Structure 1
Amino acid sequence: MTKGFDADCPATREILNRVGDKWSVLVIVILADGAKRFNDLKRSIGGISQRMLTLTLRGLEQDGLVKRTVYPTVPPRVDYELTPLGRTLLEPVTELAMWAQRHRPNVQNARAAFERAAKPPVPRRGT
């Protein structure tokens, strides 16, 4: 492991759980372009439920990575944007997302090969 990294530190694990979560990564990458409203985020992240997006945004806000701004309009307008601390995650999280996109075919091929190898051979009849 990297020198100085304490894998047993509960606080570090908690933070890694937050920023390493697939939904958090996607939210951070999408907010890189600037503030977004809740429904814009939801549309941009296929497959996320309203509840999961709410929980993800709340957790990122709690950790000081996302700022929630409520505007006193009718109906109220709420924007989400990265804080300066959240912006420090853009480079590593974007690189991780790009790595996933670049290596998707390799991972899919490895998964298929693993599944083929895990299946028991079909016995032949008559031999």
Structure 2
Amino acid sequence: MTSQVRDDSGVRGDLFDPQCPTRRLLDRIGTKWTSMAVKVLAEASPQEVRFAELQRRMPGVSQKMLSVTLQNLVRDGLVTRRVEPTAPPRVHYRITGLGLSLEAALAGLRAWAEEHMAEVDRANELGHWAEETA
């Protein structure tokens, strides 16, 4: 069984096809840094957030990884970017309506992870990676 979706042009995608745009998008939005950035920006909405503030609110993210994450979010229409022509330039980010719709989906995934993390940790400790016997 394949998972197909119809895009605006009427073309159907197949998640199991390595060339499917749906698959590439899921690869980008399925990262911890994307989830954190979208959450921070959604919480600030409709206000803008500066790059340094995003980095401060996302412990552990490097400047490079945050920059790449934000570039992807802007390219995908999930976030807007505004640069003030100052020295040095001040860069501001704001989540879009499309980004807010992603936040709703990511919030459910984060809630599931928070609720089940202890169970997943226990399974890892017990070695549930091995096949269960009946």
- TM-score scaled by length of structure 2: 0.76
The Cα shift of 1:74 comes to: 4.2
Which of 17, 38, 56 pairs up with 1:28? 38
* 1:81 lines up with 2:89 in the alignment: no
Which residue number corresponds to residue 23 of structure 2? Answer: 13
Kept after mapping to 1: 8 A contact 2:2/2:16: no
Which of 50, 57, 78 pairs up with 1:44? 57
- What are the equivalent positions in structure 2 for 1:96-115 lying under 5 Å apart? 96-114=109-127
Counterpart CA distance in 2 for 1:84 and 1:49 is: 27
3-state SS in 2 of match to 1:32: helix
3-state SS in 2 of match to 1:47: coil
Counterpart CA distance in 2 for 1:64 and 1:90 is: 13
Which segments of structure 1 move beyond 6 Å, counting only runs of 4 or more? none
The Cα shift of 1:103 comes to: 1.5
How many residue pairs get aligned? The number is 117
Which structure would you say has the larger Rg? 1
3-state SS in 1 of match to 2:127: helix
Flag structure 2 segments of 5+ consecutive residues without an equivalent.
6-13
The alignment's C-alpha RMSD in Å is: 2.1
3-state SS in 2 of match to 1:88: helix
Kept after mapping to 1: 8 A contact 2:3/2:15: no
The Cα shift of 1:97 comes to: 1.2
The Cα shift of 1:2 comes to: 8.1
- Work out the percentage of aligned pairs sharing the same amino acid: 41
> Does 1 or 2 have the higher relative contact order (CA < 8 Å, sep 6+)?
1
